[in-house]
């Protein structure tokens, strides 16, 4: 009983560690994310703002939708590169969106 409990805790820790994306990506071993949700974008809160699309994130052992939002670029020529999920060696990896 103790060994299976310890093994379960270790596996959960590995999954959650893969999702703590300090280096810009998360890894999930459970199938692809659901299809993206559609959203009403609305109007920018001011000149120069850029809309960043929402995305699915893996949190607490389940898929969680992160809404898109308006962001102000860090400099004049900055371009928003959206995040995306890709399959890599039997797991799904998320490359977080970033400014280029």
Considering the entire predicted model, what is its pTM? 0.67
Predicted confidence band of residue 27 (pLDDT cuts 50, 70, 90): confident
Q: Indicate whether 96 pLDDT > 60.
A: yes
Q: What string of H, E and C letters represents the secondary structure of the chain? A: CHHHHHHHHHHHHHHHHHHCCCCCEEEECCCCCCCCCCCCCCCCCCCCCEEECCEEEEECCEEEEECCEEECCCCCCCCEECCEEEEECCEEEEECCEEC
Sketch the domain layout of the chain as residue ranges. Answer: 2-99
Write out pLDDT tens, residues 38-88: 988 999 999 999 999 999 998 988 999 999 999 999 999 999 999 999 999
């Amino acid at each position: 009983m103790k060994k299976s409990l310890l093994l379960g805790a270790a596996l959960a820790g590995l999954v959650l560690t893969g999702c703590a994306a300090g280096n810009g990506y998360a890894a999930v071993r459970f199938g692809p994310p659901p299809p993206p949700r559609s959203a009403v974008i609305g109007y920018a809160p001011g000149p120069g703002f850029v809309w960043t699309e929402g995305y699915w994130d893996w949190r607490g052992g389940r898929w969680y939708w992160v809404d898109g939002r308006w962001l102000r670029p860090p400099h004049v020529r900055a371009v928003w590169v959206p995040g995306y999920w890709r399959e890599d060696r039997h797991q799904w990896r998320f490359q977080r969106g970033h400014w280029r």
